[in-house]
Amino acid sequence: MIGNRRRKILIVGAGEAARMVASEIACSAEINASVEGFLDDDAGLAHMKVEGFPVLGRTTELESVVAERDIDEIIIAIPTAPGRFVRDIIRRCRRAGVAYKIVPGVMEIIRGTVHIDQIREVRVEDLLGRETVSFDFEAAAVRLTGKKILVTGAGGTIGSELCRQLARVKPASLMMLGRGENRIFAIEQEIKADNPGLELVTVINNLREPERLYKVIARLAPDVVYHTAAHKHVHYMERDPEEAVLNNIAATINLARAVEECGTERFVFISTDKAADPKGVMGATKRLVEMYLSKINPDSACRFMTVRFGNVIGSTGSVVPLFVNQIGRGGPVTVSHPEATRFFMTVKEASLLVIQASVSGKGGETYILDMGEALNILDMARDIILLTGHEPDSEIPIEFTGLREGEKLHEVLIGDDETLEPPEPGEKIMIARSPAATGDTFRADVDGLIEAARTGDRDGVLRLMSEIIPGFGNDPGTGS
């Protein structure tokens, strides 16, 4: 037990961020802690002193240094550390039986010096294997200030975070549309409390009744629309392709037609990496909408843009909260396949990417975030088990369930028929260029697909999808 004695802290890293942390701890009597020294893998720092504190060894010596020095807490202070390094340090801390925390990422560092109150528990996003992406929010805000902004699916994970960020740009009004009244109520109360004086408008509507929707859009007259509403669970949409078409395709087309007629300036559609070479129905519905918007954009006064996401950490139904719930029940944690990989991004990255695309796009683009390497789901499951204070396999078992309907073993960001424009220097946003939807019958074919869904013609839905979307086949679980 520590009692009233000063906590002994060991800092991983001896760079600028680590030195700031050490200096602040040394200068603050309120913290009641002392820095015992640093661990750093730079051979040139071996046995040296940094800011008056000794470099006690390499990171591989963490366990022995903790034992020799009776360390109470580790602070990971390497803002550019890759995810694999953070994972290794966490495992060493666990074996040593010592508490651990982490400093902010590099983007937070460059906005100001590191302070003790910024040091926090390690989060899942620290294990992504890359620095989370930041955008020039202020530059984007200038383009949106004073605009009437509509967010569909505003009660969802992405929609609600988008509303939080958009409230900061001081729009003329923020309009939040959704199907679930309880979620809309919750985000309305939150935004209202945090942004007094902001004009908020809430609408309960499902977008699937075109005449009613047109009246709603005509009344709201939005300048900018962010369309996040959609069904997203791959296996459910595989079982109910008619519902997927009606909600993800027909409803989006209803909205696109309404905003065109009502003078909206910009429309941002939220897509998914599953739309790249889609194998499942959900990805196919998103790909078809991408094609549709690209088709109508050149002849429209409204600028239509698409943003493709990877998996959003913490979103409803995503693996992170699923794993946490399973761990809370004592396991097992279920993983589809030991080799399955996915791209991940944080909810804040997702919302800021959408805002950036909405002001940068000229129309017709498909924006993709450079998300680094895809992560192995099994490794992520083990990491989350460790973060919750348990040991994988021995304390929390892991079971393999097999790929579900419509799932791929590996997701990709762009399709075989697409080309990727590299980002500008220092940027993390790329543009995927797709062949334009061709043929005079494209719109008629889409209308036929929607009619097949309305009449419950499942075979017709799948056949028409295969005819409209190049390479699509209802072949679940295949591809890489």
Answer whether residue 476 is part of any domain. no
Q: Average pLDDT, whole number, for the chain?
A: 87
Higher pLDDT, residue 66 or 413: 66
Taking only the tens place, the pLDDT of each residue in 60-75 is 999 999 999 999 999 9
| Residue 474 clears pLDDT 50, i.e. is over it | no
Query: Does residue 182 share a domain with residue 86?
Result: no
In this predicted structure, what is the pLDDT of residue 466? Answer: 93
Answer whether residue 128 is part of any domain. no
Q: Say which CATH number the domain at 145 has.
A: 3.40.50.720
Answer whether residue 65 is part of any domain. yes
User: Which range, 54-58, 104-108, 385-389, has the best average confidence (pLDDT)?
Assistant: 54-58
Answer whether residue 130 is part of any domain. no
The total domain count for the chain is: 2
d(CA 414, CA 367): 10
- Name the catalytic one among 8, 148, 232, 274: 274
Query: Does residue 66 share a domain with residue 184?
Result: no
For residues 11 and 78, is the Cβ–Cβ distance under 8 A? no
Answer whether residue 13 is part of any domain. yes
In the chain, % helix, strand, coil (3-state, to 5) comes to 40, 20, 40
**Is 332 strand, coil or helix?**
coil
Long-range contacts of 41-50 (CB under 8 A, 24+ apart): 42/14, 45/14, 50/14, 50/18, 50/19, 50/22
**Considering 60, 95, 122, which residue would you say is the last residue of a domain?**
122
Please provide the DSSP assignment of 24-47 as one string.
Answer: HHHH-STT-EEEEEEE---GGGTT
| Residue 476 clears pLDDT 70, i.e. is over it | no
Answer whether residue 295 is part of any domain. yes
Answer whether residue 131 is part of any domain. no
Taking only the tens place, the pLDDT of each residue in 311-360 is 887 677 778 888 988 999 999 999 999 999 998 888 888 888 889 889 98
| Residue 109 clears pLDDT 70, i.e. is over it | no
Mean pLDDT of 183-187: 95
In this predicted structure, what is the pLDDT of residue 479? Answer: 39
**Considering 69, 95, 122, which residue would you say is the last residue of a domain?**
122
Query: Does residue 341 share a domain with residue 210?
Result: yes
Cα-Cα end-to-end distance for the chain: 52
The whole domain housing 269 covers: 137-468
H or E segment to which residue 227 belongs: strand 224-227
Q: Give the pair of three-digit tokens for residue 105.
A: 């990422």
**Is 351 strand, coil or helix?**
helix
d(CA 372, CA 349): 13
- pLDDT band at 57; cut points 50, 70, 90: very high
Query: Tokens 């992170």 sit at which residue?
Result: 320
Query: Does residue 61 share a domain with residue 163?
Result: no
d(CA 37, CA 146): 52
Taking only the tens place, the pLDDT of each residue in 210-269 is 999 999 999 999 999 999 999 999 999 999 999 999 999 999 999 999 999 999 999 999
Q: In what order do the strands lie in the sheet with 49-50?
A: 49-50, 53-57, 33-39, 7-12, 73-76, 99-102
Q: Give the pair of three-digit tokens for residue 29.
A: 């009597």
- pLDDT band at 438; cut points 50, 70, 90: low
In this predicted structure, what is the pLDDT of residue 369? Answer: 79
User: Is the sign of the CA dihedral 211, 212, 213, 218 positive or negative?
Assistant: positive
Query: Does residue 155 share a domain with residue 94?
Result: no
Query: Does residue 352 share a domain with residue 230?
Result: yes
The Cα diameter of the chain in Å comes to: 79
Query: Does residue 88 share a domain with residue 17?
Result: yes
In the residue annotation, 101 being an active-site residue is answered as: no
Query: Does residue 305 share a domain with residue 187?
Result: yes
Higher pLDDT, residue 20 or 30: 20
Query: Does residue 214 share a domain with residue 352?
Result: yes
For residues 116 and 101, is the Cβ–Cβ distance under 8 A? no
Query: Does residue 111 share a domain with residue 155?
Result: no
Q: What is the CA radius of gyration of the chain?
A: 25
d(CA 144, CA 359): 8
Other CB atoms within 10 A of residue 358 CB: 26
**Considering 80, 97, 122, which residue would you say is the last residue of a domain?**
122
For residues 220 and 201, is the Cβ–Cβ distance under 8 A? yes
User: Which range, 152-161, 338-347, 410-419, has the best average confidence (pLDDT)?
Assistant: 152-161
| Size of the chain, expressed as the number of residues it contains | 480
In this predicted structure, what is the pLDDT of residue 87? Answer: 83
- pLDDT band at 112; cut points 50, 70, 90: very low
Query: Does residue 117 share a domain with residue 149?
Result: no
Answer whether residue 111 is part of any domain. yes
Alpha helices of 136-209 — where are they, by DSSP H? Answer: 137-144, 157-167, 181-194
In this predicted structure, what is the pLDDT of residue 20? Answer: 86
Taking only the tens place, the pLDDT of each residue in 125-149 is 676 655 566 667 788 888 999 999 9
Query: Does residue 215 share a domain with residue 100?
Result: no
Other CB atoms within 10 A of residue 386 CB: 19
pTM: 0.80
Q: Give the pair of three-digit tokens for residue 82.
A: 């890759």
